[in-house]
Amino acid sequence: MSYKVLLADDDKNILAALKLQLKVEGFSSVPVTSPNEVLSALKEQDFDLILMDLNYHHDTTSGDEGLNLISEIRKNDQFIPIVAMTGWGTIDIAVDAMRRGANDFIEKPCDNNRLLNILKNLLALSESQKRSQRLASENELLRSSSQPQHWTCQSDAMKQVMTVVNNVAATDINILITGENGTGKSQLANIIHQLSLRKASSFITVNMGAINDAIFESELFGHVKGSFTDAKANRIGRFELADNGSLFMDEVANIPLGQQAKLLRVLESGEFEKLGSSKSQKASVRIISATNADLEDMVSDKNFRQDLLFRLNSIEINIPPLRDRQADIPVLANNFLKKYNHKYQRNIDKISVSAMDKLLAYQWPGNIRELDHLIERAILMATSTELQADDLLIKASATQDKNISPNNENDEDWAQLSMEQAEGKLIALVMKRFHGNAKDAAKSLGYSKSSFYRRLEKFGL
């Protein structure tokens, strides 16, 4: 890797000599001749080190310009190595430079070997600082993400999903995954990354449901030390961690409205700034997002930006609920049986026919996650080597109530419905109460007119 050094001196001959010397050693460098140019170069480009004179006018020797420049640089960047070049016999100034944040100094005319030694040591040190920062951030994330397990797609519905996935995974297209709770959105996001050309780089997850307004920017884009009270050290954001890889934005409907414009800008340009820094950074990130909300609805209710949605859902992949892909149930159930049989050291190797019938008849409001938990509990309950219908703790009524019926207001039944079913049932009930007056029904439920009509259509009411 070639390091990039910012060279600052008002003497063009010195600049030319230094540039040549660094080039021989394999460094690239950018020469500038004034403190202002130093500051603007730092705003526009990334450098690995600054080598700077302390005086910028022929007749000055106080070093003030250079010393102020060091303070100025340190306001925005606590880490970049700075080496000050001092005239002979000005050790006091050199000490002052170090106090203001320079990492080392060298007397002019520069001794070649000493200069190279200083540069190499400082660069190695800053490399290792950057590495440990990155590791700390990555470790923190790894602890929160789990390894993918089996991926079952026996049903036609899931095979269709996987056809789309196989077609788009290797492109850089942004993908929005929709589906009810527990249908496998998070796991699919991971699979898409594994099938992509970015698989050698990181798969970074950020759960928008857990990120409020206050920490949004710091989490996504990072911050520099001191940018707010608790910012005790520099922090790398998830966007930067996902560079060359994929960023999975889970529960994307929860992005605070105020932050959506910021995110949109970053997605459009690939550029972002750390909180507390004015320097733009670039990252190449593929965005996969997931939600169980109806983003179109949120757009018409002005809770989600249309332009952001367009950015996220270049391709939308809907994972159907488990009740609509029954062919997956036996395979999944048997996989979970194996898993928990092993985990709890039991010897239950089969699911009885009647137990399987019960699984197939159930509506699965919690989808695959619910099936997983149900089998786990059943394994712990079972008394024979075959899982029996009675081992499966499903409410009988829930398996029969396949249709949404506005006449049935039993609490237990409501509790077995998916959110979507419950919504449909509620809307049907309220429409009945208002004798089919959609405007009043919408108002009483707090829906906007447009989103209410869309729902009526959706539920065939």
d(CA 417, CA 425): 9
For residue 173, the minimal CB distance to ligand ATP (Å) is 20
Question: φ, ψ for residue 351 (rounded to 5)?
Answer: -110, 125
Choosing from 54, 368, 404, 417, the residue that interacts with ligand ATP (CB under 6 A) is 368
Nearest to 171 by CA among 146, 190, 197: 197
What residues form DSSP beta bridges with 316?
176
Alpha-carbon distance 93 to 84, whole Å?
A: 10
Question: 186 or 218: whose CB is closer to ligand ATP?
Answer: 186
Q: Which stretch binds ligand ATP (CB under 6 A): 4-12, 145-153, 404-412, 436-444?
A: 145-153
Pick the binder of ligand ATP from 369, 373, 443, 454 (CB under 6 A): 369
Which residues in 220-230 are b (16+ Cβ under 10 Å) and which e?
bbbbbeebeee
Select from ligand ATP, Mg ion, none the partner in contact with residue 57, using the beta carbon and a kind-dependent cut-off of 5 to 8 Å.
none
Cβ at position 251, least distance to ligand ATP in Å: 7
Residue at 182: amino acid letter: G
If contact means CB under 5 to 8 A according to the sort of partner, which of Mg ion, ligand ATP, none does residue 368 touch? ligand ATP
Q: Which two tokens stand for residue 449?
A: 């007119």
Q: Exactly one of 90, 152, 186, 201 binds Mg ion (CB under 5 A); which one? A: 186
Q: Which is nearer to ligand ATP, 101 or 182 (CB)?
A: 182
Which of Mg ion, ligand ATP, none is residue 152 near (CB under 5 to 8 Å by kind)?
A: ligand ATP
Per partner kind, with CB cut-offs from 5 to 8 A, the member of ligand ATP, Mg ion, none near residue 187 is ligand ATP
- Given ligand ATP, Mg ion, none, residue 182, with its beta carbon under 5 to 8 Å by kind, binds ligand ATP
User: How far apart (Å, rounded) are the C-alpha atoms in residues 253 and 298?
Assistant: 8
Query: ∠ CA(171), CA(177), CA(183), 5° rounding?
Result: 130
Tell me the site size for Mg ion, rule CB under 5 A: 2
3-state secondary structure of 121: helix
Among 55, 103, 155, 183, binds ligand ATP (CB under 6 A): 183
**Residues 61, 76, 126, 187: which binds ligand ATP (CB under 6 A)?**
187
> What does 149 interact with, of ligand ATP, Mg ion, none (CB < 5 to 8 A by kind)?
ligand ATP
Nearer to ligand ATP, 40 or 149 (CB): 149
152 contributes a contact to ligand ATP by CB under 6 A: yes
Smallest gap from Cβ 207 to ligand ATP, in A, equals 9
Query: Does the protein bind ligand ATP through residue 325 (CB under 6 A)?
Result: no
Segment (H or E) for 52:
strand 49-53
**For residue 76, which phi and psi values (nearest 5 degrees)?**
-100, -25
Q: Closest CB to ligand ATP among 132 and 144?
A: 144
Conformation bin of residue 361: beta by default, left when phi > 0, alpha when psi is -120 to 50 = alpha
3-state percent breakdown (helix, strand, coil) of the chain, nearest 5: 50, 15, 35
Residue 155 touching ligand ATP (CB under 6 A): no
Count of residues near ligand ATP by CB under 6 A: 18
Kindly state whether residue 338 participates in binding ligand ATP, applying the rule CB under 6 A. no
Beta carbon nearer to ligand ATP, 116 or 157: 157
Which residues contact residue 27 at a Cβ distance below 8 angstroms, ignoring those fewer than 6 apart? 2, 3, 4, 5, 119
What single string gives the DSSP state of each residue in 122-172? HHHHHHHHHHHHHHHHHHHHHHH----------SHHHHHHHHHHHHHTTS-
Smallest gap from Cβ 192 to Mg ion, in A, equals 13
Q: Give 103 or 186: the residue with its C-beta nearer to ligand ATP.
A: 186
Does 150 engage in binding with ligand ATP (CB under 6 A)? yes
Which residue number is nearest to ligand ATP in terms of Cβ?
A: 184
Single-letter code of the amino acid located at 130: K
For Mg ion, which is the closer residue by CB, 185 or 305?
A: 185
Cβ neighbors of 255 (< 8 A, separation 6 or more) are: 208, 216, 249, 263, 304, 308
Q: Between residues 186 and 363, which has the closer beta carbon with respect to ligand ATP?
A: 186
Of residues 267, 248, 266, 270, the one with CA closest to residue 310: 267
- Residue 88 CB partners (closer than 8 Å, separation 6+): 107, 108
Which residues lie closer than 8 Å to 47 by C-beta, 6 or more apart?
4, 5, 6, 30, 41, 80
Query: At 28, phi and psi to the nearest 5?
Result: -100, 155
- Partner from Mg ion, ligand ATP, none binding residue 150, C-beta < 5-8 Å depending on class: ligand ATP
Closer CB to ligand ATP, 35 or 182, in the complex: 182
Distance CA 265, CA 308 (A): 9
The residue among 112 and 149 lying less far from ligand ATP, judged by its C-beta, is 149
Binding piece for ligand ATP, criterion CB under 6 A, among 5-13, 178-186, 430-438, 439-447: 178-186
**Member of 100, 185, 325, 425 binding ligand ATP (CB under 6 A):** 185
Positions touching Mg ion (CB under 5 A) are: 185-186
Positions touching ligand ATP (CB under 6 A) are: 149-153, 179, 181-187, 292, 332, 368-369, 372
